[in-house]
Amino acid sequence: MESQYYNQVEIISKDDLRRLQNERLHKTLLNAMNVKFYQEKFKSMGISASDIKSVDDITKLPFTTKDDLRNNYPFGMAAIPLKDCIRVHSSSGTTGNPTVVLHSRNDIDAWAELVARNLYMVGVRDTDVFQNTSGYGMFTGGLGFQYGAEKLGCLTVPAAAGNSKRQIKFMKDFGTTVVHIIPSYATRLAEVMAEEGIDPRKDLKIRILAIGAEPHTEEQRKRIEDLLGVKAYNSFGMSEMCGPGVAFECKEQNGMHIWEDNVLVEIVDPVTLKPVPDGQIGELVLTTLNREAMPLIRYRTRDLTRIIPGDCPCGRTHRRLARFQGRSDDMMILKGVNIFPIQIEKILMGYKELGSNFLITLETFNNNDEMTVEVELGELGTDNVGDLKDLVKDITRQLKDEILITPKVKLVPKGSLPSAEGGKAVRVKDLRKLF
Amino acid sequence: MIVEQISVFVENKAGSIEKVTKALADAGIGIRTFCTEDGSDFGILRMLVTDPKKAETVLKNSGFSAFCNKVVAAKCANKTGSLSYLLNKLAERNVSVEYMYAYQDNDEAKVVLRTKDIELCNTIIEEQ
């Protein structure tokens, strides 16, 4: 009988995991001492790699931030000679230098193993046809999933981003069974299928979706599953850690197992930077444990999440991350209130009358900051403007209960807001005058 | 007579009604009559068309939010007092009109009526 685990490390005992982590952390710190940035940082804090006896000592170590990576652009964070690196990825930097991540051959193999492990976990096998709708190139969602699905032995379809009609044609003609896709594009594809007269349940063979790279709600996942007749599993990755593969949901669909043989996980209070106990929300901080080219120590991901306490029925011993609560840096502050776009999305997704695209605009009117939420109407269920006005009122009230500020809600026609063909959808426009 | 009415969500913006009429024209569907109901940011365009089922499909496939429901199209003689007579019959049976509009069908004047109970409204009209 085939094993339900791709790698036996998935069910490693807590004691063995700790031993493995101690060993790998030690190696990581020695490796990090090849990086000038870490040499200087350690020296200035008066610590050395040998002071760290076990993972319990992790809090003695300095944090690494995205700015540190930018300041060491392009190859300042390399721990091995460039001749031993075989690939460089870079994340989309909106301001200043992009962040660059180097990979050795072993890094690429380890990354592919993580992705293969994830796909196997949700039932993907070598008999599957795997279509990747991620952008390829410098974005890790392309090659990351490509190598992982190949390692697993799937027939891979590197369709890349965009061109919805062609995506659907490949799905149909190649008998695609597994798709990697960002959630907003999954709903967009379902719309195009409807326009093309294609019923995904009858005309296509897709059964599994790996969704990630974009915050989304449980409601949006359910909607995608209903629209396409599939199981959709949440994927978490970031180019700084490797890319997709860092954490992934199992068939329980209740949190993403973060592979603790690969990274050391901490959740810290974003203000005090002190660790919080399992179950409490904070910023995810990760230390690479299995990385040659570019070890990162206590990297601040800016993602807000929590560890789901307790064991998972699937038998895997690696802890689970809850759904992300936004990022500590895309938090909007309006009239002194902290607001995350995901709070607004959660409310909007609760209305079956609404489509999936929305846009939050922050503007200054008469020295007063206001929020407008535009959302696309889905199906029209009435011939009466009054009913739509009631809908707007109801949405406004629900949003106010959630974010404590009364936004102006506008219904707009389908197709009039940015959707996510080939990239992350723009959800927030900040046009405020800053004084 | 009970007929199908098609309603479309339109934004309060230049050209938005034109997009609807163009989609129908391109599909060879004629508009018999229409009315608009206005909100502040958006409105609803209601129409009687030559082929309501096809119009619904065409509009939905073109990305519009459209809705099909039933209304009564009542004949109304072209003379003073005939509309009043019709509405009086509805009022006598306690039928409230949500909205109405009018059109000319060949040589006949017709009134489109939307009420809560469309069957009852139609029965009262047919009795005349």
Map tokens 């019709």 to a residue.
Answer: B86
Which chain A residue's Cα is nearest to B71? A383
Shortest CA distance to A301 belongs to which of A346, A359, A342, A258? Answer: A258
Q: How far apart are CA B103 and CA B101, in angstroms?
A: 7
Closest CB to A380: pick one of B9, B39, B41: B9
What was the pLDDT predicted at A12?
A: 97
Q: Where are the domains of chain A?
A: 1-327, 332-430
What was the pLDDT predicted at A420?
A: 62
Q: Residue A311: which pLDDT band, with cuts at 50, 70 and 90?
A: very high
Of A415 and A35, the structure prediction assigns the larger pLDDT to: A35
pLDDT of A432 over the 70 cut: yes
Residues of B in contact with A382 (CB under 8 A): 7, 44, 67
Q: What's the whole-number mean pLDDT along residues A301-320?
A: 95
Q: Are A232 and A186 in contact (CB under 8 A)?
A: yes
Of A364 and B73, the structure prediction assigns the larger pLDDT to: B73
3-state class of B27 per DSSP? coil
**Range name among A67-81, A324-338, A399-413 with the lowest pLDDT average:** A324-338
All structural domains of chain B, each given as residue ranges with its CATH number in brackets, are: 1-128 (3.30.2130.10)
A240-292 per-position pLDDT tens digit: 999 999 999 999 999 999 999 999 999 998 778 899 999 988 899 999 999 99
pLDDT of A423 over the 60 cut: no
Closest CA–CA distance from residue B123 to any residue of chain A (Å): 22
Residues of B in contact with A414 (CB under 8 A): 63-65
Q: What's the whole-number mean pLDDT along residues A359-381?
A: 91
CB neighbours (10 Å) of residue A158?
Answer: 16
| Residues 6 or more apart in contact with residue A35 via CB below 8 angstroms | A76, A77, A78, A79, A295
Which tokens go with B100? 């109405």
Contact criterion met (CB < 8 Å) for A388 and B61: no
Q: How far apart are CA A361 and CA A45, in angstroms?
A: 43
Q: Residue A331: which pLDDT band, with cuts at 50, 70 and 90?
A: confident
Q: Residue A435: which pLDDT band, with cuts at 50, 70 and 90?
A: low
Q: What's the whole-number mean pLDDT along residues A177-205?
A: 94
Which chain B residue's Cα is nearest to A355? B65
What was the pLDDT predicted at A401?
A: 92
pLDDT of A376 over the 70 cut: yes
Give me the torsion for CA of B116, B119, B124, B128, rounded to 10°: 130
pLDDT of A422 over the 70 cut: no
What was the pLDDT predicted at A151?
A: 98
Name the packing angle between helices B82-92 and B118-127 (round to 10°).
130
What was the pLDDT predicted at A375?
A: 96
Question: Residues 33..92 of B with a Cβ closer than 8 Å to A: which?
Answer: 37-39, 41-44, 46, 61, 63-67, 69
CATH for A332-430? Answer: 3.30.300.30
Contact criterion met (CB < 8 Å) for A385 and B8: no
What was the pLDDT predicted at A418?
A: 81
Contact criterion met (CB < 8 Å) for A416 and B69: no
**Mean pLDDT score across all residues of chain A:** 92
Chosen from B20, B34, B42, B47 to mutate, greatest number of chain A CBs within 10 A: B42
CATH for A1-327? Answer: 3.40.50.12780
Residues of B in contact with A384 (CB under 8 A): 37, 44, 98
Map tokens 């007929």 to a residue.
Answer: B3
pLDDT of A23 over the 90 cut: yes
CA dist A160 → A99, A270, A423, B35 (Å): 22, 36, 11, 46
pLDDT of A57 over the 80 cut: yes
Which chain B residue's Cα is nearest to A384? B44
Which chain A residue's Cα is nearest to B13? A412
What was the pLDDT predicted at A92?
A: 62
Which chain B residue's Cα is nearest to A382? B67
Q: What's the whole-number mean pLDDT along residues A124-130?
A: 98
Q: Is the ipTM of this complex over 0.85?
A: yes
Contact criterion met (CB < 8 Å) for B65 and A389: no
Closest CA–CA distance from residue A386 to any residue of chain B (Å): 8
Percent above pLDDT 70 for chain B: 100
What was the pLDDT predicted at A179?
A: 98
Q: How far apart are CA A203 and CA A269, in angstroms?
A: 48
Which chain B residue's Cα is nearest to A410? B41
Percent above pLDDT 70 for chain A: 96
What was the pLDDT predicted at A95?
A: 55
pLDDT of A416 over the 90 cut: no
Q: Residue A424: which pLDDT band, with cuts at 50, 70 and 90?
A: low
Contact criterion met (CB < 8 Å) for B16 and A416: no
**Range name among A61-75, A336-350, B2-16 with the lowest pLDDT average:** A336-350
Closest CA–CA distance from residue A303 to any residue of chain B (Å): 36
What are residue A131's DSSP bridge partners? A157, A179
Map tokens 């990760």 to a residue.
Answer: A286
Greatest mean pLDDT among A200-204, A364-368, B78-82: A200-204
Q: Residue B128: which pLDDT band, with cuts at 50, 70 and 90?
A: confident
Q: Are A118 and A148 in contact (CB under 8 A)?
A: yes
Residues of B in contact with A419 (CB under 8 A): none
Contact criterion met (CB < 8 Å) for A413 and B63: yes
pLDDT of A96 over the 70 cut: no
